[in-house]
Structure 1
Amino acid sequence: MALAIRNSTFNDDLKCSLLEEGILDKCQGCSLKCICDSIDQVAQNYIDKTTDVINNFNFE
């Protein structure tokens, strides 16, 4: 799960493999729904905490 969140921050998409593989046809009743409902905020928190400008370079 952590790897999926990290990859999603590099312009990849978070996807539900259960829906993609046809294991589930809808999210209702899935025990992971509570995680899916808040995953965008988790990914944004990761971006905010790991994206810091340390130094600027000028090559002129």
Structure 2
Amino acid sequence: MQKLLTRITDLLHDDKGVSSIEYALLGILIAVAILGGVLTLSDAVKSTYQLIAARMP
């Protein structure tokens, strides 16, 4: 029983997972920024392609 309590205490004080969480949050932030940029530019790109398609013979 003491061995189990010692193991649980060690797991609670372990800091190895903190870096993983930080990298995951950073990855999510980058993904949200890319998605926001794509959504912002999508209408402009669509209208440009429609303009080019309209001018093609």
Per the shorter chain, which TM-score range?
0.3 to 0.5
With normalisation by structure 2, the TM-score equals: 0.35
Higher relative contact order (CA 8 A, sep 6+): 1
| Structure ID, larger Rg | 2
With normalisation by structure 1, the TM-score equals: 0.34
